[in-house]
Structure 1
Amino acid sequence: MTDIIRIGEDFGRFDELLALILSSFAYMDGVIDPPSSAHRLTLASLAEKAKDEIAFAAVEDGKLAGCVFLKPEPGFLYLGKLAIAPECQGKGLGRRLLAIAEDVARKEGLPSLRLETRIELAGNHATFARWGFSRTAENSHPGFERVTSIEMQKRLA
């Protein structure tokens, strides 16, 4: 059984949360350039991010199995740090977290979801497309002349 919980001020598992994000994003190491911003997260910055954004964690048998951070923006709810523990991938957990994001967007009166994913991660692009996202923009990180990421959006009904 997997429970989805809101990460609030009383959440005392930021060390596990950071480990979850780093392990979930580890496959990107050596694949994407520049490296993932997950490497810049600290316990303190992660706690601050959870305070500033709307965050959820999936807990399976007492262990953190996934998370998502949501940030309201004008016209969008931004999805960031969607992470699923490698051993929990393929079980529909990402879709469950996405459904929660859609509910939050509706409650916030936001008509669309928005995310960014790295240009090199074609598998992620395909997954997000299956989940109803469309590619809407190409972006470059500071200091890069080539495209390093794409933006994808999902319009909610």
Structure 2
Amino acid sequence: MDGVIDPPSSAHRLTPENLAAKAGTETVFLATVGKALVGCVFVAESHDHFYVGKLAVAPTAQGAGVGKRLLGAVEQFARESGKPILELQTRIELIDNQKAFGRMGFVETARTVHEGFDRPTSITMRRVLG
């Protein structure tokens, strides 16, 4: 996403250590093909919903439904946990992501501003599980 989103992605600050810590406090779902990791998503529990973050699919697996299957697993987890809402954020510039999430039933609920910016930089989207 370098050169596409501003501010730069927080993925640049991910390390094995802070990913391990994140996995210790959140639920992580992995997608594999054979022994190859092709996607992941982290899910953080809130009082009335699950926050879906760090959804990533390897470039070689994009367009194959990996992200949709990961979100399907998150939805099942949320239902089993009694949380009726999924929430996520996507960047303003990532219009294709906004459209894809919209096709999966997510709707925009807010726009937020990263520190130091004078314009919205992210869109919050929610999906109420039916």
TM-score, reference length from structure 2 = 0.97
Please name the residue that 1:85 is paired with.
58
Residue-by-residue CA offset, 1:37-92 (whole Å, 9 max, x unaligned)? 11011110011011110001111021001001001112111100111110101111
Please name the residue that 1:66 is paired with.
39
1:111 maps to 2:87: no
Residue-by-residue CA offset, 1:94-140 (whole Å, 9 max, x unaligned)? 11101111011112211110000000110100000011100110000
Secondary structure in 1 matching 2:68: helix
- Cα distance in structure 2, aligned partners of 1:74 and 1:29: 34
Q: Partner letter of residue 32 of structure 1?
A: I
Structure 2: which 5+ runs fail to align?
A: none
1:44 maps to 2:17: yes
Secondary structure in 2 matching 1:132: coil
Residue-by-residue CA offset, 1:22-44 (whole Å, 9 max, x unaligned)? xxxxxx11111110011011110
Q: Partner letter of residue 70 of structure 2?
A: L
- Cα distance in structure 1, aligned partners of 2:80 and 2:21: 23
Residue among 87, 94, 113 paired with 2:67? 94
CA RMSD across the alignment: 0.7
Structure 1: which 5+ runs fail to align?
A: 1-27
Question: Deviation above 3 Å: which 4+ runs of structure 1?
Answer: none
Q: Partner letter of residue 109 of structure 1?
A: G
Mapping for residues 1-157 of structure 1, pairs under 5 Å:
28-157=1-130
Number of residue pairs matched? Answer: 130
- Cα distance in structure 1, aligned partners of 2:114 and 2:83: 26
Secondary structure in 1 matching 2:119: coil
Q: Partner letter of residue 138 of structure 1?
A: R
- Cα distance in structure 2, aligned partners of 1:74 and 1:122: 29
Secondary structure in 2 matching 1:145: coil
